[in-house]
Structures are given as C-alpha cells and as structure tokens.
Structure 1
Amino acid sequence: MDLGLAGKKAIITGASRGIGRAIAETLGSEGAAVAICARHEDGLLSAATDMRARGITVHTQVLDVSDESAVAAFVDWAAGVLGGLDIVVSNVSAGASVDPQFWSVSFAADLMAFVRLVEAATPHLEKSDCASILAIASTSGFDALPPARANSYAAFKAAVIQHASSLGHSLPAKGIRVNTISPGPIFFEGGPWDLRMQSDPESTIAIRDRIPMGRFGSPTDVANLAAFLSSPAAAYLTATNMVVDGGFTSRIHF
C-alpha cells in the first residue's frame, strides 16, 4: 500500500530517540523530508546521521519546546528549509515527578508546547493539500495508573487528547486534519519503562504480564500508525484518538 508520503514535509518534535525518532524514521523511509528537534544536540546528531545513511532528508535544530518564541521560530525555519509543511507531529513530554512544582514544567512541555506548535504551524499547513497534525498522548490520559507521581503527566495528556479532538473538528475547515495516538507502555533503551525495569523489575514485569499481547510495545508499533494517520491514505480521519497498547486498557475506545 502506497501511503502517498513521498515528497511530503514533516516536523516531529522530541525526535532524538524513542517514539519521536521512530516516527521520523518511518515517515522518512516512506519518502517524506523531515525536520526534527530535541533538547540535546548529541541525540539529534546521532538520529540524523543514521537517517541520512538510509537516504532520508533530515534537518535538525536544538529546541526547548517550553520556549514559546523558540517554537514559532523553529516552525518557520523548518517550513523554510523543507520548502513547505504538510505534517506536524507533537511528541514531547516532561515525564513524571512527585514534586508539586513539576506541574508547571509538565504544563509547559506536555500541553502548551502542543498548543503553540499548532498555532505556529497552522498558517503553513493551510497551504498544503493534505495537511495533518498528530499529537502523541498516552493511555494515562484516560486510564491513569499508580504511582501518584504520574498525576501531572496523566492530567496534561488528557488535556492534549481533548484539545486535539476540538481541533480535529475546527481545523478541517482550513484543510487540516488533527488526530491523537495514545500509546500504552512502550519500551526502548533509556526510556521510562527501561529505567523502571532496572529500578523495580518485579512490578514492571507484573505490568508487562497484564498486557494481552504479552509484551511491551515498541516505538515502531506507534510509528507505523503515525505514518498512516499523517498520510493522504487517512484523508477521512480527524478528531480520532487511536490507542496502541496491545489491549492493555480495558474500555471501548471511540
């Protein structure tokens, strides 16, 4: 199946590793040119080197998405070097912490970064004939798990899901689709589930064993769906929250 991504131009935030990197690699392997950002230059350069070795056109910029003016500047820069913009993927999270002050950090990185990214990208996306915005949220946004340290993470992922749903109804008037992916437990080296496995293997294995598919998800599991949702092949999909969790959450998703 040809997803129709060849020649498309995409922004992916938080793309130096994990889910974001996998999405950038998958879009690139389908023929899209990508502009990626992250906070740390080393990870960006490593990701870009690997992608270029595979023939993917990739541009990089170090970015703190909690910086409002920097987000707008990054989007304008990316649209310039790419020659336009068709796809925007918001994939940044501050993670979780028990510190009450972390709520403000999470608010800026998990929610407002998405809000500002959409605001900055919309004028560019309006010029595309197949524009798509995709937010990476979490099953924690509707099915929160202990410990309490995840409260801020869950709250703002819920807000992202709701905001994306609202945008998915309003922005099609401008030719822009908006959807969300909510991953369940996704395992990658250096990621939160890897760190949890190292610090508390017993409870982490217990969670893994609750997943009907019998394993943690991989970044590629999310990236494959992200490529479809971002593509012209999904032209009639908007305001949808797609769950990728191996059956981990027990509810009807709609």
Structure 2
Amino acid sequence: MTVLIVTGTGTEIGKTVVTAAVAAAALARGRTVAVLKPAQTGLGPGEPGDAAEAARLAGQVTAVELARFPEPLAPATAARRAGLTPVTPGEVAEAAEKLATEHDLVLVEGAGGLLVRFDGAGGTLADAARLLRAPVLVVAPAGLGTLNATALTCEALRARELDPLGVVVGSWPAAPDLAARCNLVDLPEAAGAPLLGALPQGIGALAPERFRAGVADWLAPELDGHWDAAGFGAEFDAG
C-alpha cells in the first residue's frame, strides 16, 4: 500500500487526526510518509492547515497542500467564490504519484465526505482514488446516524469499483452511549468492511509526543497498530 485515501462520512469527524495517527504509526515502523491535502478550505494565507496539523502530531512527515480557498465551503464552491482555479482529480492523482516515488506511504486526506466536489466538472476524491487505484479508509463518527452515512459512503465506493479498506471511528467518547456501543458491532456490517480503529475523543489536543506514543493502541494491525476490534467491543459490552 503506497497511497491510501482518507475520506469521511462528513466534515469535522476526525479525518485529520486519523490521518496523523496512521502517519505516526507508519513512521514508528520506519516508513517514510507524506500527507497530501488536495484542497484546504476555510483558512487564510499563513494559517496552518490540515496537512500541517497532521505533520505536527505525527512527526517527520512531508506535508503538501495543492490548493487553498478562504471560505469554509466545499472546494468547488469555495474556489468559484474566490475566483481561484480549483484542483482536479487528475492533479490530485499526479501529485500523489509523484510523492509515492519518494515515500513509502502517501496519505491523501479529502475535504468533507467522499463525493464533495473539487471542481466545476464534478470531480471528487472518489475520482482521484479511481485514477490512483488506491484503497480508501473511511472515517466515521461513533454515534447515532453513523450507520446510514457509512453504508452510503461504502456503497458509493463500490459503485466506482473501489473497495473500502476499513472504517475508523474518528472520535470515540469517554462515556459512549448505547448507540455508540452498539455501533462497534454494526459499523462493520453497514460498511461491509472491518473496523480498524477507534481514536479517543480529544487526542488532537495532546502534546505530539503523547499522541505518537498512543497511536498503536488506537489502530488495528492493518494500520500498523495493535488495536483489536473484538477486544475493544467486549470492553464496552457492545451488542
């Protein structure tokens, strides 16, 4: 796995922290890592974006941002309103392929959900994934409503002949409610893909050293950790 696409079922659900955790786990195994953010929205010049935040938490990561638009909107909309040139799936794929010649792992973090538009032609992160023939990691929230959104995301992937690598819960609460506990069992069924991790809520605020020390506890072996879905579910009596 040279390129891994990180998408989500929506916005503000932990994609950047999951990207950072996957990067940190790979670095701990001695791999070189790049994080590519195709389109950063909602930030002005000089403000640290998602790629920079992933690098801050993970460590020695090459952080690349292809385009930035000031308003916190979908990339295509933000580019249009700013009068700027949008990024296209082809440009995303080209940048990821170049980084893959120089790194063991390239993480491509999308904006919002899988089918958020990058450009006026309707290009999406899914289109970039198809061009790259890359696996896709789906980040989902823990609670009520996540099953439908996760199922729709994975169904959209398979409709494009893309298989989800798995699902990671982007923010696992300290005191999970009934829906969250049951979702540990139901998410893999809804996704048709394994549950590959659960990141504790608020870990993005940890000091980088503490963050890096914990990543193996939050991610499954497929993502260079030792987290076990069955054991984690048993801990919370999921069922």
TM-score normalised to the size of structure 2? 0.48
Q: Which has the higher strand share?
A: 2
Structure having the higher helix fraction is 1
Whose relative contact order is higher, 1 or 2, with alpha carbons under 8 Å and at least 6 apart? 2
Q: TM-score, normalised by structure 1?
A: 0.46
